[in-house]
Amino acid sequence: MAFTKLFVAAIAALSLATSVAAAPVAAPAPGKAGWDESKFEPYDIYHTRYLALKCQNKHNTAFFDTCCGPLARGQKLSTRPAQCNPNSQPANSSTQDEDDDDCEDDGDDDDTVVLNPTTTTKPATTTTKATTTTTKKTTTTTKPATTTKASSGSTHTGKGTWYTQNGVAGACGKKNPDSALIGAMNFQLYGNVDKVSSVCGKKVLITNKKNGKQVTVTMADACPSCKGKGDIDLSTGAFKKLDALSTGLIDIEWVYV
């Protein structure tokens, strides 16, 4: 679902929480382009809860309308039903809702969606597998390139944004500081945001189309809120290589390297 629908849901949540909302103050610098923290809770807190509740898989449901919108500034989570609190959810409380191609978040993931430690061994297993196929038959050496969804030299265009790490592991299973040159791939190319993707660990050369500045980043996370297949959410360290954080949103083009 497009970000606009989520924003409408957020306005509805705001109207229900007027009794606890704080008096209007000057909006702080947004952690995400377009996010108004003078009206809503901090973007990173909302994004963490959004992923913990698996809202990306629950569009067009009563649960989504009740629990997946952001809180108004000053509103307590306790004003919502218990099912809206990730800490009260059973370990296997997922419902069989239809997947939707559009998800809304912020760029961080909650501890409740950090992958099992065993999933971190999967990339190593895949690498061993690829090595075996290249020695078995020379014609199979072209297959690993096709699994990257785009070969080196294929240029993608989209939007570049930034997010903070907050000491939380990304979808690829590792924690990184804000200074690390990493990025979160849009969910269309990443795949299932609850699992380690073949995109994890890949290097991407990103160019700011406006000023020509470039940075090479490692894919370490998924971006459920990125709407375009060319969109990448960057760490603050990587974004500052391309433009000032106050810019918030930039036009980019990128290739795998």
**Residues 71-115 pLDDT 10s:** 998 899 999 999 999 987 554 444 434 344 443 444 444 443 333
Higher pLDDT, 120 or 192: 192
- Which has the higher per-residue pLDDT, 118 or 168? 168
Closest to 107 (Cα-Cα) out of 40, 39, 30? 30
pTM of this structure:
0.42
- Do 169 and 175 touch, CB atoms closer than 8 A? yes
Pairing of strands 156-163, 232-235: parallel
Q: Are strands 203-208 and 214-223 parallel, antiparallel or unpaired?
A: antiparallel
Report how far residue 237's alpha carbon sits from residue 181's, in angstroms, rounded to the nearest whole number.
6
- Kindly indicate the confidence band of residue 152, based on its pLDDT and cuts at 50, 70 and 90: low
Q: In this predicted model, which residue has the larger pLDDT, 32 or 112?
A: 32
C-alpha angle 108-110-115 in degrees, rounded to nearest 5: 105
| pLDDT recorded at residue 94 | 42
Query: Phi/psi of residue 63, each to 5°?
Result: -60, -45
Q: What is the pLDDT at residue 11?
A: 44
pLDDT digits (tens, 9 = 90+) for 34-74: 788 888 889 889 899 999 999 999 999 999 999 999 999 88
CA-based nearest residue to 9, from 57, 55, 76: 55
